[in-house]
Amino acid sequence: MAETITSEVRAFNRFYTRQIGLLDEHIAKSPFSLAEARVLYEIAARGRTTATELARDLGLDRGYLSRMLQKFAAMELSAMSPTPGDRRQNQLALTREGDAAVAALNGNSEAAVEEMLHLLGPAEQEKLRSAMTTIRRLLGDRMPEAPLILRPHRLGELGWLVHRQGLLYNQQFGWNGAFESLIAGLYREFAEAPDSPPKALWIAERNQMIVGSVFVIPAAGHQATAQLRMLYVEPEARGQGLGRVLVDQVVSFSREHGYRRVRLWTQSVLESARRIYAGAGFALIESTPHHSFGKDLVGEVWELEL
């Protein structure tokens, strides 16, 4: 398996370097190599910096960087000035000609990307953006944290939620297809339920990716009681308070729409979810051992009086 992944990563790297022209002698139709363009970008982004900082942050050999900076100075793209309070180091900044060179690099790079994207439709562009975001996050890129959005579900997403949660619970707990069948029925019940008594489903979205969900529906056979169902948080979004946000949303909705309590059914092995329910004020009122989803489990009923 590891060899297969390694081969796929290397194949992707070879393909993408060809795609964006990194195998050319110069980048973005400029007189600069990839390394030189990267250093120019960094100096422009920082405003003022030092050779020491650049070598450390970019992982460049000091001698190699020194020759590069000498080339920039000869081309009148950069200038050095003494660092206040430290005569041993010089500050480095771009000149007006350096700023123009970076602007040209940016323009040529954007044109090349736009030419590539022009071959893709809107849906394909979104898939590409999502895949690139996933790659950056998985490999540890410190991306700005986008705001969390709670919204209603869209066409096709109920099926996606069944698919995704069926996979996650199988991977984490070994639950079989009986669980997928169960939750498919629960989402169908939500979709077919009338609008009164009130029901609601929330999708948690960040960076245009689904990171969690929950829904609430009238509890069958329990007067004035709302049923919290299918609390789900993506693994990479756990530990950030999203589960509590979704549960609080259910509680607020139930209170605002006249329900007197919120009820839910969970399993004792779902320890993270149980902590969220307890933290939101729910109390365990019933435990029942059962064999479901290919496992021996203990089902639990929790309730919160409103």
* Domain housing 225: 149-305
pLDDT of residue 210: 93
More confident residue, 115 or 172: 172
The pLDDT score that the predictor gives to residue 2 is 57
At 35, is the pLDDT very low, low, confident or very high (cuts 50, 70, 90)? confident
Residue 63 lies in a domain: yes
Rounded Cα distance between 232 and 165, Å, is 8
109 and 155 part of one domain: no
What is the model's pLDDT at position 3? 66
Residues 228, 103, single domain; the answer is: no
Residue 23 has pLDDT above 50, yes or no: no
181-190 average pLDDT score: 97
Burial bucket for residue 138 (CB in 10 Å: 0-12, 13-18, 19+): exposed
As a whole number, mean pLDDT of residues 278-291 equals 97
Q: Tens digits of per-residue pLDDT, 161-175?
A: 999 999 999 999 999
* Whether 111 and 27 share a structural domain: yes
What stretches of the chain show up as alpha helix (H) in DSSP?
2-19, 34-46, 51-58, 62-74, 96-117, 122-138, 157-173, 177-192, 242-256, 271-279
| Weakest-pLDDT range from 12-16, 70-74, 280-284, 290-294 | 12-16
Average pLDDT over residues 184-208: 94
Which of 102, 119, 136 is the last residue before a domain boundary?
Answer: 119
Domain count, the chain: 2
Residue 92 sits in a domain whose CATH number is 1.10.10.10
Is there a single domain that holds both residue 180 and residue 270? yes
pLDDT digits (tens, 9 = 90+) for 77-104: 888 887 666 666 778 889 999 899 889 8
Query: E strand or H helix at 215, and its extent?
Result: strand 209-218
